[in-house]
A and B are shown apart, each in its own frame.
Chain A
Amino acid sequence: MDNKNLDKIKGENPFIVPEDYFSTLTDQIMEGLPTKSSVEESIKNQPVSLWDKVKPLAYLAAIFIGAALIVRVLINTKTEEYDYISQINVEEVSDEFIDETIEGAFLDDYDMHVYLTSYTE
Chain B
Amino acid sequence: MKTKITDEQIALLIQDERTLELGFRYLVDTYSEPLYHHIRRIVLTHENANDVLQNTFMKAWLGCENFEGRSKISTWLYRIAVNESLSFIEKNKNRFALDIDNPEHGLEDMLKSDSYFCGDELAIELQKAIQELPEKQRLVFLMKYYDDMKYTEISKILGTSVGALKASYHHATNKIEEYFRKLD
* Interface window among A18-26, A61-69, A76-84: A18-26
Task: From the candidates B17, B20, B57, B146, name the one contacting A10 in the complex (CB within 8 A).
Answer: B146
Whether A17 lies near B181 (C-beta < 8 A) is no
Task: From the candidates B46, B119, B177, name the one contacting A18 in the complex (CB within 8 A).
Answer: B46
* Alpha-carbon distance A112/B20, docked complex (angstroms): 96
Residues of A contacting B57 in the complex (Cβ-Cβ under 8 angstroms): 29, 33
Residues of B contacting A25 in the complex (Cβ-Cβ under 8 angstroms): 28, 32-33, 36
Is B149 in the interface zone, CB < 8 Å from A?
no
* Alpha-carbon distance A30/B123, docked complex (angstroms): 34
Task: From the candidates B28, B46, B123, B181, name the one contacting A29 in the complex (CB within 8 A).
Answer: B28
Whether A32 lies near B54 (C-beta < 8 A) is yes
Specify which of A10, A15, A32 lies most central, judged by the most chain B CB atoms within 10 Å of its CB. Answer: A15
* Alpha-carbon distance A3/B174, docked complex (angstroms): 9
Q: How far is the CB of A22 from chain B (nearest CB, A)?
A: 5
Which of chain B's residues 46-62 have a Cβ closer than 8 Å to chain A?
46, 49, 53-54, 57-58, 61-62
- Which residue of chain A has the shortest Cβ distance to B21 in the bound complex? A30
Whether B122 lies near A22 (C-beta < 8 A) is no
* Alpha-carbon distance A30/B29, docked complex (angstroms): 10
Residues of B contacting A72 in the complex (Cβ-Cβ under 8 angstroms): none
Task: From the candidates A9, A26, A32, name the one contacting B180 in the complex (CB within 8 A).
Answer: A9
Is A104 in the interface zone, CB < 8 Å from B?
no
Whether A15 lies near B58 (C-beta < 8 A) is no
Whether A1 lies near B28 (C-beta < 8 A) is no
Task: From the candidates A6, A16, A26, name the one contacting B173 in the complex (CB within 8 A).
Answer: A6
Whether B117 lies near A14 (C-beta < 8 A) is yes
Task: From the candidates B28, B62, B117, name the one contacting A15 in the complex (CB within 8 A).
Answer: B117
* Alpha-carbon distance A11/B118, docked complex (angstroms): 12
Residues of B contacting A39 in the complex (Cβ-Cβ under 8 angstroms): 62
Whether B28 lies near A16 (C-beta < 8 A) is no
Whether B61 lies near A33 (C-beta < 8 A) is yes
Whether B123 lies near A3 (C-beta < 8 A) is no
Which of chain B's residues 35-51 have a Cβ closer than 8 Å to chain A?
36-37, 40-41, 46, 49
Give B residues with C-beta under 8 Å from A. Answer: 17, 20-21, 24-25, 28-29, 32-33, 36-37, 40-41, 46, 49, 53-54, 57-58, 61-62, 116-120, 122-123, 126-127, 145-146, 173, 176-177, 180-181
Give A residues with C-beta under 8 Å from B. Answer: 1-3, 5-6, 9-11, 13-18, 22, 25-26, 29-30, 32-34, 36, 39
What would 21 A/B residue contacts be, using CB atoms closer than 8 Å? A2-B177, A5-B177, A10-B146, A11-B120, A11-B122, A11-B123, A14-B118, A14-B119, A15-B41, A15-B116, A22-B32, A25-B32, A26-B25, A29-B28, A29-B32, A30-B21, A30-B24, A32-B58, A33-B24, A34-B61, A36-B17
Nearest first, the 4 A-B pairs at minimum CB distance are A14-B119, A14-B123, A1-B177, A26-B29
